[in-house]
Structure 1
Amino acid sequence: MLTNKTVAIIGGTSGIGLCVAEIAISLGASVVVGGRNGERIEKAVQRLGSSARGAEVDNLNQASIKAFFEAAGAIDHLFTPGASYARGRIDEVTDEVAESSFKSKFWGQYYAVKHALPHLAKDGSITLMAGAYSVRPAPNGAAYGACNAAIEGLGRSLAVELAPVRVNVVSPGTIDSDLWQRQPTELRDASFSSYSDVALLKRVGTTDEVAGTVAFLMQNTFMTGSTLYPDGGFALR
Protein backbone atom coordinates (compact mmCIF):
# COMPACT_ATOMS: atom_id res chain seq x y z
CA MET A 1 0.00 0.00 0.00
CA LEU A 2 0.97 3.63 -0.47
CA THR A 3 -1.10 5.07 2.35
CA ASN A 4 -0.07 8.62 3.24
CA LYS A 5 2.72 8.59 0.64
CA THR A 6 3.26 11.28 -2.00
CA VAL A 7 4.07 10.24 -5.55
CA ALA A 8 5.52 12.69 -8.07
CA ILE A 9 5.07 11.85 -11.75
CA ILE A 10 6.70 13.85 -14.52
CA GLY A 11 4.52 12.96 -17.48
CA GLY A 12 1.54 12.22 -15.28
CA THR A 13 -1.17 13.91 -17.33
CA SER A 14 -1.78 11.12 -19.85
CA GLY A 15 -0.97 7.54 -20.80
CA ILE A 16 1.06 5.38 -18.44
CA GLY A 17 1.84 8.27 -16.09
CA LEU A 18 -1.83 9.11 -15.56
CA CYS A 19 -2.65 5.45 -15.03
CA VAL A 20 0.08 5.20 -12.37
CA ALA A 21 -1.40 8.27 -10.67
CA GLU A 22 -4.82 6.59 -10.56
CA ILE A 23 -3.40 3.39 -9.08
CA ALA A 24 -1.32 5.29 -6.52
CA ILE A 25 -4.39 7.18 -5.33
CA SER A 26 -6.37 3.93 -5.10
CA LEU A 27 -3.58 2.62 -2.84
CA GLY A 28 -3.87 5.60 -0.50
CA ALA A 29 -1.30 8.03 -1.93
CA SER A 30 -1.52 11.64 -2.96
CA VAL A 31 0.05 12.56 -6.29
CA VAL A 32 1.76 15.52 -7.93
CA VAL A 33 1.54 15.30 -11.71
CA GLY A 34 3.71 17.35 -14.03
CA GLY A 35 3.54 18.05 -17.74
CA ARG A 36 4.20 20.70 -20.35
CA ASN A 37 0.57 21.55 -21.14
CA GLY A 38 -1.40 23.50 -18.56
CA GLU A 39 -4.78 22.45 -19.98
CA ARG A 40 -3.87 18.75 -19.79
CA ILE A 41 -2.64 19.21 -16.23
CA GLU A 42 -5.95 20.78 -15.23
CA LYS A 43 -7.95 17.98 -16.86
CA ALA A 44 -5.79 15.32 -15.21
CA VAL A 45 -6.19 16.87 -11.75
CA GLN A 46 -9.95 17.11 -12.22
CA ARG A 47 -10.05 13.45 -13.23
CA LEU A 48 -7.86 12.33 -10.32
CA GLY A 49 -9.73 14.31 -7.68
CA SER A 50 -8.77 15.85 -4.37
CA SER A 51 -5.71 13.64 -3.85
CA ALA A 52 -3.95 15.23 -6.83
CA ARG A 53 -2.04 18.41 -7.54
CA GLY A 54 -0.41 19.48 -10.77
CA ALA A 55 2.32 21.80 -12.04
CA GLU A 56 3.91 22.59 -15.37
CA VAL A 57 7.38 21.22 -16.01
CA ASP A 58 9.67 21.08 -19.04
CA ASN A 59 12.10 18.18 -18.71
CA LEU A 60 14.48 19.85 -21.18
CA ASN A 61 14.93 22.76 -18.78
CA GLN A 62 16.70 22.20 -15.46
CA ALA A 63 15.31 25.38 -13.93
CA SER A 64 11.79 24.16 -14.72
CA ILE A 65 12.52 20.72 -13.24
CA LYS A 66 13.96 22.25 -10.07
CA ALA A 67 10.95 24.56 -9.70
CA PHE A 68 8.58 21.61 -10.10
CA PHE A 69 10.10 19.74 -7.18
CA GLU A 70 10.31 22.84 -5.01
CA ALA A 71 6.57 23.31 -5.56
CA ALA A 72 5.87 19.62 -4.95
CA GLY A 73 7.54 19.61 -1.53
CA ALA A 74 8.31 16.35 0.28
CA ILE A 75 7.78 13.23 -1.85
CA ASP A 76 8.13 9.49 -1.25
CA HIS A 77 8.20 8.10 -4.78
CA LEU A 78 9.20 9.43 -8.19
CA PHE A 79 8.18 8.12 -11.62
CA THR A 80 9.49 9.81 -14.76
CA PRO A 81 7.77 8.61 -17.95
CA GLY A 82 7.52 12.01 -19.63
CA ALA A 83 9.63 12.43 -22.78
CA SER A 84 9.37 13.77 -26.30
CA TYR A 85 11.64 12.50 -29.08
CA ALA A 86 11.88 11.19 -32.64
CA ARG A 87 13.94 8.42 -34.23
CA GLY A 88 15.18 7.11 -37.56
CA ARG A 89 18.09 5.54 -39.43
CA ILE A 90 21.53 6.92 -38.63
CA ASP A 91 22.12 7.85 -42.29
CA GLU A 92 18.73 9.51 -42.75
CA VAL A 93 17.98 11.62 -39.67
CA THR A 94 19.20 15.05 -38.66
CA ASP A 95 21.44 15.49 -35.65
CA GLU A 96 18.48 17.06 -33.84
CA VAL A 97 16.37 13.92 -34.31
CA ALA A 98 19.27 11.61 -33.42
CA GLU A 99 19.95 13.46 -30.18
CA SER A 100 16.31 14.00 -29.16
CA SER A 101 15.85 10.77 -27.18
CA PHE A 102 18.97 11.37 -25.12
CA LYS A 103 18.11 15.03 -24.48
CA SER A 104 14.55 14.33 -23.37
CA LYS A 105 14.40 10.72 -22.21
CA PHE A 106 17.89 10.21 -20.72
CA TRP A 107 18.98 13.64 -19.51
CA GLY A 108 15.38 14.58 -18.66
CA GLN A 109 15.22 11.68 -16.20
CA TYR A 110 18.77 12.18 -14.94
CA TYR A 111 18.05 15.79 -13.98
CA ALA A 112 14.64 14.90 -12.60
CA VAL A 113 16.37 12.57 -10.15
CA LYS A 114 19.02 15.17 -9.32
CA HIS A 115 16.49 17.85 -8.45
CA ALA A 116 14.08 15.46 -6.71
CA LEU A 117 16.69 14.20 -4.26
CA PRO A 118 16.51 17.10 -1.76
CA HIS A 119 12.78 16.41 -1.42
CA LEU A 120 12.77 12.59 -1.59
CA ALA A 121 12.29 10.43 1.51
CA LYS A 122 15.36 8.41 2.48
CA ASP A 123 13.28 5.22 2.30
CA GLY A 124 11.63 6.29 -0.93
CA SER A 125 11.91 5.04 -4.49
CA ILE A 126 12.62 6.17 -8.03
CA THR A 127 11.28 4.38 -11.09
CA LEU A 128 12.80 5.31 -14.44
CA MET A 129 11.25 4.63 -17.84
CA ALA A 130 13.28 2.93 -20.57
CA GLY A 131 11.94 0.57 -23.26
CA ALA A 132 12.36 -2.95 -24.56
CA TYR A 133 14.29 -1.69 -27.60
CA SER A 134 17.19 -1.61 -25.14
CA VAL A 135 17.59 -5.36 -25.62
CA ARG A 136 15.89 -5.84 -29.00
CA PRO A 137 16.74 -2.75 -31.08
CA ALA A 138 14.53 -1.56 -33.92
CA PRO A 139 16.10 -1.23 -37.37
CA ASN A 140 15.33 2.51 -37.54
CA GLY A 141 16.56 4.04 -34.32
CA ALA A 142 20.09 3.24 -33.21
CA ALA A 143 20.29 6.25 -30.90
CA TYR A 144 16.87 5.45 -29.44
CA GLY A 145 17.84 1.85 -28.66
CA ALA A 146 21.11 3.04 -27.12
CA CYS A 147 19.22 5.60 -25.03
CA ASN A 148 16.96 2.94 -23.51
CA ALA A 149 19.98 0.78 -22.69
CA ALA A 150 21.68 3.80 -21.11
CA ILE A 151 18.64 4.43 -18.90
CA GLU A 152 18.75 0.85 -17.65
CA GLY A 153 22.44 1.35 -16.82
CA LEU A 154 21.61 4.64 -15.13
CA GLY A 155 19.06 2.88 -12.94
CA ARG A 156 21.61 0.31 -11.76
CA SER A 157 24.23 2.99 -11.12
CA LEU A 158 21.84 5.20 -9.18
CA ALA A 159 20.69 2.23 -7.09
CA VAL A 160 24.29 1.86 -5.90
CA GLU A 161 24.89 5.59 -5.55
CA LEU A 162 21.67 6.54 -3.77
CA ALA A 163 21.02 3.56 -1.48
CA PRO A 164 18.97 3.18 0.68
CA VAL A 165 16.74 5.03 -1.80
CA ARG A 166 15.56 2.34 -4.20
CA VAL A 167 15.99 2.88 -7.94
CA ASN A 168 14.44 0.59 -10.56
CA VAL A 169 13.59 0.74 -14.26
CA VAL A 170 10.54 -0.31 -16.23
CA SER A 171 11.16 -1.16 -19.91
CA PRO A 172 7.84 -1.74 -21.65
CA GLY A 173 7.24 -2.86 -25.19
CA THR A 174 4.65 -1.30 -27.49
CA ILE A 175 1.69 -0.12 -25.40
CA ASP A 176 -1.76 0.87 -26.65
CA SER A 177 -1.75 4.29 -24.99
CA ASP A 178 -3.35 7.57 -25.94
CA LEU A 179 -0.06 8.54 -27.60
CA TRP A 180 -0.65 5.82 -30.19
CA GLN A 181 -4.31 6.73 -30.46
CA ARG A 182 -3.27 10.16 -31.72
CA GLN A 183 -1.30 8.56 -34.58
CA PRO A 184 -2.82 7.89 -38.02
CA THR A 185 -4.84 4.68 -37.98
CA GLU A 186 -2.82 3.07 -40.76
CA LEU A 187 0.48 3.68 -38.97
CA ARG A 188 -0.88 2.50 -35.62
CA ASP A 189 -2.38 -0.68 -37.05
CA ALA A 190 0.81 -1.55 -38.93
CA SER A 191 2.97 -0.99 -35.85
CA PHE A 192 0.67 -3.01 -33.59
CA SER A 193 0.52 -5.85 -36.11
CA SER A 194 4.29 -5.93 -36.52
CA TYR A 195 4.82 -5.99 -32.75
CA SER A 196 2.18 -8.68 -32.21
CA ASP A 197 3.85 -10.91 -34.79
CA VAL A 198 7.08 -10.87 -32.76
CA ALA A 199 5.90 -10.79 -29.13
CA LEU A 200 5.35 -14.16 -27.49
CA LEU A 201 1.89 -13.13 -26.25
CA LYS A 202 0.93 -11.96 -29.78
CA ARG A 203 -0.42 -8.57 -28.77
CA VAL A 204 0.58 -5.11 -27.63
CA GLY A 205 0.31 -4.14 -23.97
CA THR A 206 -2.04 -1.87 -22.05
CA THR A 207 -1.29 1.14 -19.88
CA ASP A 208 -2.76 -0.74 -16.88
CA GLU A 209 -0.20 -3.52 -17.31
CA VAL A 210 2.74 -1.14 -17.27
CA ALA A 211 1.28 1.02 -14.50
CA GLY A 212 0.79 -2.07 -12.34
CA THR A 213 4.47 -2.88 -12.79
CA VAL A 214 5.44 0.61 -11.66
CA ALA A 215 3.16 0.39 -8.62
CA PHE A 216 4.76 -2.95 -7.72
CA LEU A 217 8.24 -1.40 -7.87
CA MET A 218 7.14 1.44 -5.62
CA GLN A 219 5.75 -0.96 -3.01
CA ASN A 220 8.36 -3.73 -3.00
CA THR A 221 10.81 -2.45 -0.42
CA PHE A 222 13.44 -5.12 -1.16
CA MET A 223 13.81 -4.45 -4.88
CA THR A 224 16.43 -2.06 -6.24
CA GLY A 225 18.70 -1.90 -9.28
CA SER A 226 16.28 -4.06 -11.28
CA THR A 227 14.74 -3.66 -14.73
CA LEU A 228 11.33 -5.18 -15.43
CA TYR A 229 10.02 -5.80 -18.96
CA PRO A 230 6.23 -5.65 -19.35
CA ASP A 231 6.62 -6.43 -23.06
CA GLY A 232 4.65 -9.61 -23.78
CA GLY A 233 7.86 -11.53 -24.40
CA PHE A 234 9.14 -9.17 -27.12
CA ALA A 235 12.68 -9.14 -25.69
CA LEU A 236 12.91 -12.94 -25.86
CA ARG A 237 12.42 -13.28 -29.62
Structure 2
Amino acid sequence: MSSKATYAILGGTSGIGFAVALKIIERGDRVLVGGRSPERLAGALQRLGPHARGRTLDVTARASLEAFFADAPQLSGLFTPAASYHTGPFREGAAETSEALFTGKFWSQYWAVFAALPYLDDKASVVLMSGAASARPIGAPAYAACNSALEGLARGLAVELSPIRVNCLSPGTTDTELWRNRPAEQREAAYDYWNGVCLTGRPAAVEDQAAAALFLLDNANMTGSTLFCDGGYTLR
Protein backbone atom coordinates (compact mmCIF):
# COMPACT_ATOMS: atom_id res chain seq x y z
CA MET A 1 0.00 0.00 0.00
CA SER A 2 1.41 3.37 -1.05
CA SER A 3 2.26 5.93 1.62
CA LYS A 4 2.13 8.80 -0.84
CA ALA A 5 -0.33 11.58 -0.07
CA THR A 6 -2.87 12.66 -2.70
CA TYR A 7 -3.98 16.25 -3.28
CA ALA A 8 -6.90 17.39 -5.44
CA ILE A 9 -6.43 20.54 -7.49
CA LEU A 10 -9.39 22.03 -9.32
CA GLY A 11 -7.89 24.11 -12.08
CA GLY A 12 -4.68 22.10 -12.15
CA THR A 13 -4.05 22.19 -15.90
CA SER A 14 -2.41 25.62 -16.08
CA GLY A 15 -1.23 28.63 -14.11
CA ILE A 16 -1.00 28.51 -10.33
CA GLY A 17 -2.87 25.22 -10.07
CA PHE A 18 -0.50 23.43 -12.44
CA ALA A 19 2.53 24.89 -10.66
CA VAL A 20 1.25 23.56 -7.33
CA ALA A 21 0.55 20.15 -8.89
CA LEU A 22 4.09 20.04 -10.26
CA LYS A 23 5.61 20.89 -6.86
CA ILE A 24 3.55 18.16 -5.21
CA ILE A 25 4.63 15.60 -7.81
CA GLU A 26 8.28 16.65 -7.52
CA ARG A 27 8.30 15.98 -3.78
CA GLY A 28 6.94 12.47 -4.32
CA ASP A 29 3.20 12.82 -3.69
CA ARG A 30 0.24 12.37 -6.04
CA VAL A 31 -2.31 14.72 -7.56
CA LEU A 32 -5.85 14.48 -8.84
CA VAL A 33 -6.38 17.41 -11.20
CA GLY A 34 -9.47 18.84 -12.86
CA GLY A 35 -9.86 21.20 -15.80
CA ARG A 36 -12.49 22.29 -18.31
CA SER A 37 -10.64 21.37 -21.51
CA PRO A 38 -9.98 17.69 -22.31
CA GLU A 39 -7.02 18.70 -24.47
CA ARG A 40 -5.40 20.84 -21.77
CA LEU A 41 -6.07 18.17 -19.17
CA ALA A 42 -4.38 15.52 -21.31
CA GLY A 43 -1.40 17.80 -21.87
CA ALA A 44 -1.08 18.59 -18.17
CA LEU A 45 -1.25 14.93 -17.19
CA GLN A 46 1.43 14.07 -19.70
CA ARG A 47 3.71 16.76 -18.26
CA LEU A 48 3.00 15.75 -14.66
CA GLY A 49 3.70 12.06 -15.24
CA PRO A 50 2.43 8.79 -13.80
CA HIS A 51 1.66 10.10 -10.30
CA ALA A 52 -1.06 12.39 -11.66
CA ARG A 53 -4.56 11.58 -12.80
CA GLY A 54 -7.51 13.76 -13.60
CA ARG A 55 -10.91 14.44 -15.09
CA THR A 56 -12.60 17.19 -17.02
CA LEU A 57 -14.67 19.34 -14.73
CA ASP A 58 -17.23 22.14 -14.77
CA VAL A 59 -16.74 23.82 -11.40
CA THR A 60 -20.05 25.68 -11.72
CA ALA A 61 -22.05 22.42 -11.78
CA ARG A 62 -22.54 20.48 -8.55
CA ALA A 63 -23.10 17.23 -10.43
CA SER A 64 -19.76 17.64 -12.18
CA LEU A 65 -18.02 18.30 -8.87
CA GLU A 66 -19.60 15.20 -7.32
CA ALA A 67 -18.56 13.08 -10.31
CA PHE A 68 -15.01 14.41 -10.11
CA PHE A 69 -14.59 13.15 -6.55
CA ALA A 70 -16.68 9.99 -6.95
CA ASP A 71 -13.81 7.47 -6.83
CA ALA A 72 -11.15 9.66 -5.28
CA PRO A 73 -8.72 8.17 -2.77
CA GLN A 74 -8.40 9.68 0.67
CA LEU A 75 -7.17 13.22 0.18
CA SER A 76 -4.56 15.08 2.20
CA GLY A 77 -5.43 18.40 0.62
CA LEU A 78 -7.62 20.37 -1.75
CA PHE A 79 -6.71 23.51 -3.69
CA THR A 80 -9.43 25.33 -5.67
CA PRO A 81 -7.96 27.98 -8.00
CA ALA A 82 -10.32 27.18 -10.89
CA ALA A 83 -12.73 30.01 -11.68
CA SER A 84 -14.57 31.46 -14.64
CA TYR A 85 -15.96 34.99 -14.40
CA HIS A 86 -16.10 38.53 -15.76
CA THR A 87 -15.83 41.77 -13.82
CA GLY A 88 -17.43 45.14 -14.44
CA PRO A 89 -18.68 48.36 -12.84
CA PHE A 90 -21.70 48.42 -10.56
CA ARG A 91 -23.43 51.11 -12.64
CA GLU A 92 -23.78 48.79 -15.63
CA GLY A 93 -26.08 46.49 -13.65
CA ALA A 94 -24.88 43.47 -15.61
CA ALA A 95 -25.75 40.07 -14.14
CA GLU A 96 -22.71 38.43 -15.75
CA THR A 97 -20.37 40.70 -13.76
CA SER A 98 -22.27 40.38 -10.49
CA GLU A 99 -24.42 37.29 -9.90
CA ALA A 100 -22.63 35.12 -12.45
CA LEU A 101 -19.30 36.19 -10.99
CA PHE A 102 -20.30 34.65 -7.66
CA THR A 103 -21.42 31.48 -9.47
CA GLY A 104 -18.08 31.18 -11.23
CA LYS A 105 -15.80 32.02 -8.30
CA PHE A 106 -17.53 31.82 -4.90
CA TRP A 107 -20.16 29.09 -5.21
CA SER A 108 -17.84 26.92 -7.29
CA GLN A 109 -15.33 26.79 -4.42
CA TYR A 110 -18.06 26.47 -1.77
CA TRP A 111 -19.58 23.41 -3.44
CA ALA A 112 -16.15 21.99 -4.31
CA VAL A 113 -15.31 21.74 -0.62
CA PHE A 114 -18.72 20.20 0.05
CA ALA A 115 -18.22 17.57 -2.67
CA ALA A 116 -14.69 16.80 -1.47
CA LEU A 117 -15.57 16.54 2.22
CA PRO A 118 -16.25 12.76 2.35
CA TYR A 119 -12.80 12.15 0.84
CA LEU A 120 -10.73 14.51 3.02
CA ASP A 121 -8.84 12.84 5.85
CA ASP A 122 -9.15 14.34 9.31
CA LYS A 123 -5.80 16.13 9.00
CA ALA A 124 -6.43 17.44 5.51
CA SER A 125 -5.87 21.00 4.39
CA VAL A 126 -8.11 23.07 2.10
CA VAL A 127 -6.86 26.19 0.33
CA LEU A 128 -9.40 28.46 -1.35
CA MET A 129 -8.36 31.29 -3.67
CA SER A 130 -9.64 34.86 -3.53
CA GLY A 131 -7.77 37.98 -4.69
CA ALA A 132 -6.24 41.13 -3.26
CA ALA A 133 -9.21 43.22 -4.43
CA SER A 134 -10.92 41.96 -1.28
CA ALA A 135 -8.84 44.38 0.78
CA ARG A 136 -8.18 47.09 -1.81
CA PRO A 137 -10.88 47.33 -4.48
CA ILE A 138 -10.35 49.16 -7.73
CA GLY A 139 -13.83 49.33 -9.24
CA ALA A 140 -15.81 46.14 -9.89
CA PRO A 141 -17.40 46.06 -6.41
CA ALA A 142 -19.00 42.63 -6.95
CA TYR A 143 -15.53 41.24 -7.58
CA ALA A 144 -14.23 42.80 -4.36
CA ALA A 145 -17.23 41.42 -2.48
CA CYS A 146 -16.77 37.94 -3.95
CA ASN A 147 -13.14 37.80 -2.86
CA SER A 148 -14.07 39.02 0.62
CA ALA A 149 -16.78 36.36 0.80
CA LEU A 150 -14.25 33.64 0.01
CA GLU A 151 -11.97 34.83 2.79
CA GLY A 152 -14.93 34.79 5.18
CA LEU A 153 -15.82 31.32 3.94
CA ALA A 154 -12.33 30.10 4.80
CA ARG A 155 -12.72 31.38 8.36
CA GLY A 156 -16.17 29.85 8.76
CA LEU A 157 -15.14 26.48 7.35
CA ALA A 158 -12.02 26.43 9.52
CA VAL A 159 -14.28 26.59 12.58
CA GLU A 160 -16.91 24.11 11.42
CA LEU A 161 -14.65 21.53 9.77
CA SER A 162 -11.88 21.45 12.39
CA PRO A 163 -9.52 19.59 12.64
CA ILE A 164 -9.47 19.92 8.84
CA ARG A 165 -7.60 23.16 8.16
CA VAL A 166 -9.03 25.75 5.77
CA ASN A 167 -7.15 28.83 4.54
CA CYS A 168 -7.33 31.23 1.62
CA LEU A 169 -4.67 32.43 -0.81
CA SER A 170 -5.21 36.02 -1.98
CA PRO A 171 -2.93 36.76 -4.96
CA GLY A 172 -2.32 39.99 -6.79
CA THR A 173 -1.58 40.29 -10.50
CA THR A 174 0.43 37.25 -11.56
CA ASP A 175 2.29 36.54 -14.79
CA THR A 176 0.27 33.50 -15.87
CA GLU A 177 -0.60 31.99 -19.23
CA LEU A 178 -3.88 33.89 -19.03
CA TRP A 179 -2.04 37.21 -19.26
CA ARG A 180 0.57 35.95 -21.72
CA ASN A 181 -2.17 34.92 -24.14
CA ARG A 182 -3.72 38.39 -24.14
CA PRO A 183 -2.66 41.11 -26.60
CA ALA A 184 0.76 42.52 -25.68
CA GLU A 185 -0.58 46.08 -25.43
CA GLN A 186 -3.27 45.05 -22.94
CA ARG A 187 -0.89 42.93 -20.91
CA GLU A 188 1.85 45.56 -20.74
CA ALA A 189 -0.60 48.27 -19.70
CA ALA A 190 -1.92 46.08 -16.89
CA TYR A 191 1.59 45.17 -15.73
CA ASP A 192 2.75 48.80 -15.84
CA TYR A 193 -0.21 49.79 -13.71
CA TRP A 194 0.43 46.99 -11.24
CA ASN A 195 4.11 47.83 -10.98
CA GLY A 196 3.14 51.29 -9.78
CA VAL A 197 0.60 50.24 -7.15
CA CYS A 198 2.45 47.37 -5.43
CA LEU A 199 5.65 47.53 -3.38
CA THR A 200 7.75 44.97 -5.24
CA GLY A 201 7.40 46.75 -8.59
CA ARG A 202 6.53 43.60 -10.53
CA PRO A 203 3.75 41.08 -11.04
CA ALA A 204 4.16 37.84 -9.10
CA ALA A 205 5.62 34.82 -10.82
CA VAL A 206 3.45 31.71 -10.90
CA GLU A 207 6.08 30.03 -8.71
CA ASP A 208 5.58 32.73 -6.03
CA GLN A 209 1.90 31.90 -5.76
CA ALA A 210 2.50 28.16 -5.89
CA ALA A 211 4.95 28.40 -2.99
CA ALA A 212 2.39 30.37 -0.98
CA ALA A 213 -0.36 27.83 -1.70
CA LEU A 214 1.92 24.95 -0.75
CA PHE A 215 2.81 26.69 2.51
CA LEU A 216 -0.88 26.88 3.40
CA LEU A 217 -1.42 23.25 2.43
CA ASP A 218 1.52 22.06 4.54
CA ASN A 219 1.73 24.26 7.63
CA ALA A 220 -0.10 22.40 10.40
CA ASN A 221 -0.59 25.57 12.49
CA MET A 222 -2.30 27.63 9.77
CA THR A 223 -6.09 27.66 9.63
CA GLY A 224 -8.76 30.29 9.11
CA SER A 225 -6.20 32.69 7.64
CA THR A 226 -5.84 34.60 4.39
CA LEU A 227 -2.36 34.91 2.93
CA PHE A 228 -1.92 37.97 0.71
CA CYS A 229 0.73 37.11 -1.89
CA ASP A 230 0.28 40.50 -3.55
CA GLY A 231 3.67 42.21 -3.54
CA GLY A 232 2.46 44.65 -0.90
CA TYR A 233 -0.41 45.91 -3.03
CA THR A 234 -2.82 46.08 -0.10
CA LEU A 235 -0.38 48.31 1.84
CA ARG A 236 -0.28 51.17 -0.68
Q: Same fold (TM over 0.5)?
A: yes
Output the amino acid matched with 1:222.
N
What TM-score, normalized by structure 1, do the two folds share?
A: 0.97
3-state SS in 1 of match to 2:91 = coil
Q: Distance in 2 between matches of 1:219 and 1:27?
A: 12
Correspondence for 2:41: 41
Q: Deviations over 1:34-57 (max 9, x none)?
A: 011111100000000011001011
Output the amino acid matched with 1:113.
V
- Size of the alignment, in residue pairs? 234
* Distance apart, 1:138 and its partner CA: 1.3
Q: Distance in 2 between matches of 1:109 and 1:233?
A: 25
Q: Distance in 2 between matches of 1:99 and 1:71?
A: 32
Q: Distance in 2 between matches of 1:178 and 1:123?
A: 33
Identity %: 49
**Superposition pairs of residues 1-237 of structure 1, within 5 angstroms:** 4-139=4-139, 141-237=140-236
Q: Deviations over 1:127-168 (max 9, x none)?
A: 0000000000012x1100100000000000000000000000
* Distance apart, 1:99 and its partner CA: 1.8
3-state SS in 2 of match to 1:169 = strand
Q: Distance in 1 between matches of 2:26 and 2:133?
A: 31
Q: Distance in 2 between matches of 1:103 and 1:65?
A: 14
* Distance apart, 1:59 and its partner CA: 0.7
Is the 1:83–1:105 contact (alpha carbons within 8 Å) kept by the matching residues of 2?
yes
Output the amino acid matched with 2:107.
W
Q: Distance in 1 between matches of 2:30 and 2:84?
A: 26
* Distance apart, 1:93 and its partner CA: 5.0
Q: Distance in 1 between matches of 2:136 and 2:195?
A: 14
* Distance apart, 1:204 and its partner CA: 0.6
* Distance apart, 1:185 and its partner CA: 1.0
Is the 1:87–1:93 contact (alpha carbons within 8 Å) kept by the matching residues of 2?
no
> Which consecutive residues of structure 1, in runs of 5 or more, have no partner in the other structure?
none
Q: Deviations over 1:80-110 (max 9, x none)?
A: 0000100111112521222222101100000
Q: Distance in 1 between matches of 2:28 and 2:168?
A: 23
Is the 2:122–2:164 contact (alpha carbons within 8 Å) kept by the matching residues of 1?
yes
3-state SS in 2 of match to 1:42 = helix
Q: Distance in 2 between matches of 1:4 and 1:221?
A: 18
Q: Distance in 2 between matches of 1:45 and 1:99?
A: 33
What TM-score, normalized by structure 2, do the two folds share?
A: 0.97
Is the 1:6–1:74 contact (alpha carbons within 8 Å) kept by the matching residues of 2?
yes
Is the 2:97–2:142 contact (alpha carbons within 8 Å) kept by the matching residues of 1?
no
